[in-house]
């Protein structure tokens, strides 16, 4: 069902993930949400079925099946549990810095432990005074012999306290804005690395979101990704390729909610017939399904473009559009699913209540949807389209 440009091998993996999602993840989703505890059993499930290998090349212990496959896996998992889908999306997010900017030696040092799932990964950009405005970050890194000394802290970091490896952004030139930022690989065991408060939150409750601190933390100079001052560029190149992962989480939520609302509408009767036969409900279902399919078309196109090594100049805009559209669809469609279930939709006993809460974060993290709109408009203004205004006036 739905748009499917996958190869036979990718389809096989999708079917495996779909089966695991239905049989092993779905029965745990409500409990993960209720307890708000990080689901290590889901990590174990991924390890057992080698799913952590999906974002990685074969030479580093991965499956070499590409970016589209990762998106499809995130979508399938998020149909039943957005917290579990996020584990896959963040393994990609936290590894992309090394994949895009790492030397061969850095890749050999770090990627195999991420591909096996021995380590979970995290991406640490945001600070208390620096979310949308990353140039305002205060964390500093100073070169001292063959080590960097890092001081400062990050906030709202997914996988805080559970990740084994963090890609951390810090100012090597505090006087400069974007051009003063550098990117580093930090192992969780490093002395001076501390995990602070883990935030209670509205949705994706099993995922940890927390503070991390660096107190005179020393890391080898070899852990610098790219050159000093490359950090902002690396952060943005990562986001161009990771935002589709959040889009996939949004699409999974939207499709999962649509599927649930459809089943419900076929069996719940009012005024002598199933509510699916009332036109106002069937019209909502049709809109929900259409939005999901449009979102899927955009998402898979972006996945294919990443796999075809499309240049950054093309990826930035399509990736922002994909994140914006799929996650706005997630919010609209999960809200409609709650409406279709009526009072039952508002009850914790039914999964659409959780899906609606989980959908909200997809419009906020990895760049809010306002920021996506700014990015899209900025790229549009840069494009040379030929003027339609010639001859007017």
Distance CA 331, CA 179 (A): 35
Catalytic residue flag (residue 199): no
Please list every residue from 214 through 273 that binds ligand FAD, using CB under 6 A: none
Q: How far is the CB of 199 from ligand FAD (least distance, A)?
A: 7
Q: Which range in 15-23, 110-118, 154-162, 278-286 contacts ligand FAD by CB under 6 A?
A: 154-162
Distance CA 45, CA 114 (A): 15
Distance CA 13, CA 66 (A): 12
Q: How far is the CB of 159 from ligand FAD (least distance, A)?
A: 7
Q: How far is the CB of 56 from ligand FAD (least distance, A)?
A: 19
DSSP string, 102-155: --HHHHHHHHHHHHTTSS-EEEE--BTTBSS-GGG---EEEEETTEEEEEEEEE
Q: Which of 95, 33, 34 is nearest to 253 (CA)?
A: 33
Is residue 329 exposed (0-12), middle (13-18) or buried (19+ Cβ within 10 Å)?
buried
State yes or no: residue 367 binds ligand FAD (CB under 6 A).
Answer: yes
Q: How far is the CB of 235 from ligand FAD (least distance, A)?
A: 9
State yes or no: residue 206 binds ligand FAD (CB under 6 A).
Answer: no
Secondary structure (3-state) at 202: coil
State yes or no: residue 125 binds ligand FAD (CB under 6 A).
Answer: yes
Q: Which tokens belong to 57?
A: 């090349």
Helix 82-101 to helix 26-35 angle (10° resolution) is 90
Q: Which of 92, 211, 353, 366 is catalytic?
A: 366
Q: Which helix (H) or strand (E) holds 264?
A: helix 231-267
Q: State which of residues 151, 335, 339, 368 lies at the interface with ligand FAD (CB under 6 A).
A: 368
State yes or no: residue 364 binds ligand FAD (CB under 6 A).
Answer: yes
State yes or no: residue 166 binds ligand FAD (CB under 6 A).
Answer: no
CA atoms within a 13 Å half-sphere pointing along the CA-CB vector of 11: 8
Q: How far is the CB of 169 from ligand FAD (least distance, A)?
A: 8
Q: State which of residues 156, 166, 300, 325 lies at the interface with ligand FAD (CB under 6 A).
A: 156
Beta carbon nearer to ligand FAD, 111 or 124: 124
Q: Which range in 112-120, 125-133, 182-190, 288-296 contacts ligand FAD by CB under 6 A?
A: 125-133
State yes or no: residue 157 binds ligand FAD (CB under 6 A).
Answer: yes
Binding site residues, ligand FAD, CB under 6 A:
123-126, 131-132, 156-158, 201, 209, 361, 364-368, 370-371, 374
So which residues are the catalytic ones?
366
């Amino acid at each position: 069902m739905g748009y499917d440009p996958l190869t036979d091998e990718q389809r096989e993996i999708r079917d495996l993930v779909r089966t695991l999602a239905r049989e092993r993840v779905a029965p745990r989703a409500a409990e993960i949400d209720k307890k708000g505890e990080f689901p290590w059993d889901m990590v174990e499930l991924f390890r057992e079925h080698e799913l952590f290998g999906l974002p990685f090349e074969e030479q580093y212990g991965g499956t070499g099946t590409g970016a589209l496959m990762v998106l499809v896996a995130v979508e399938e998992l998020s149909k039943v549990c957005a917290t579990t889908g996020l584990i896959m999306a963040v393994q990609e997010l936290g590894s992309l810095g090394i994949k895009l900017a790492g030397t061969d030696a850095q890749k050999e040092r770090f990627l195999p432990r991420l591909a096996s799932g021995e380590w979970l990964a995290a991406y640490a950009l945001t600070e208390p005074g620096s979310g949308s405005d990353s140039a305002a970050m205060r964390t500093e890194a100073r070169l001292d012999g063959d080590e960097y000394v890092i001081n400062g802290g990050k906030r709202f970091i997914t996988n805080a306290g559970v990740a084994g490896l963090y890609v951390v952004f810090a100012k090597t030139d505090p006087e400069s804005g974007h051009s003063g930022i550098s990117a580093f690989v930090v192992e969780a065991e490093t002395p001076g690395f501390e995990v602070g408060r883990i935030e209670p939150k509205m949705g994706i409750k099993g995922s940890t979101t927390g503070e991390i601190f660096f107190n005179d933390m020393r890391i080898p100079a070899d852990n610098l990704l790219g050159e000093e001052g490359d950090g902002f560029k690396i952060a943005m190149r990562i986001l161009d390729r990771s935002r589709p992962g959040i889009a996939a989480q949004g699409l999974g939520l939207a499709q999962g909610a649509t599927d649930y609302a459809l089943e419900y509408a076929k069996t719940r009767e009012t005024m002598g017939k199933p509510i699916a036969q009332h036109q106002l409900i069937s019209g909502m279902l049709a809109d929900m399904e259409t939005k999901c399919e449009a979102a899927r078309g955009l998402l898979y196109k972006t996945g294919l473009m990443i796999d075809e090594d499309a240049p950054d100049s093309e990826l930035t805009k399509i990736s922002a559009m994909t994140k914006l559209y799929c996650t706005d669809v997630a919010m609209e469609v999960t809200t409609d699913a709650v409406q279709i279930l009526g009072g039952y939709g508002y009850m914790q006993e039914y999964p659409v209540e959780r899906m609606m809460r989980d959908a909200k974060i997809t419009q906020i993290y990895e760049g809010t949807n306002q920021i996506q709109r700014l990015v899209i408009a900025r790229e549009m203004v840069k494009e040379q389209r030929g003027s339609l205004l010639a001859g007017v006036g």
